[in-house]
Amino acid sequence: MAQLLALPPLERDLVLWIQRQTACTAEAAQAFLGQDEATTLEMLQTLEQQSYLVSQLSAEGVSTYQAGLISMRQRRLGLAGPSATPSPFKQWTQPLE
């Protein structure tokens, strides 16, 4: 939780909001933030790269995002990110059928 508190307020609020929603689209995140599409997408991608979010691409080509918080120990040991140990959200990152 400490690493979440270290995020800038807008990013932290977005992660917490997505966590309460269970999942959301970029459009829903944009409406929540009140930001333009480019800013919202950049923020979502950054949070995904930092392992705060995981995304899933539906069969229709729509990305949805879910909170994927990891421990600070995992981040410090380099166990976070694309080459990390399997995430409990791994099955969620596969495209929907």
Domains and CATH numbers, the chain: 2-92 (1.10.10.10)
Q: Does the structure show a pLDDT above 80 at 17?
A: yes
Give the model's pLDDT for residue 27. 95
Q: What is the mean pLDDT of residues 65-73?
A: 68
**pLDDT value at residue 3:** 78
Is the per-residue pLDDT at 46 higher than 50? yes
Which pLDDT does position 78 carry in this prediction?
56
Query: What pLDDT, on a 0 to 100 scale, did the predictor assign at position 96?
Result: 54
Note the pLDDT of residue 82. Answer: 45
More confident of the two residues 95 and 43: 43
Question: How crowded is the C-beta side of 5, counted as CA atoms within 13 Å?
Answer: 2
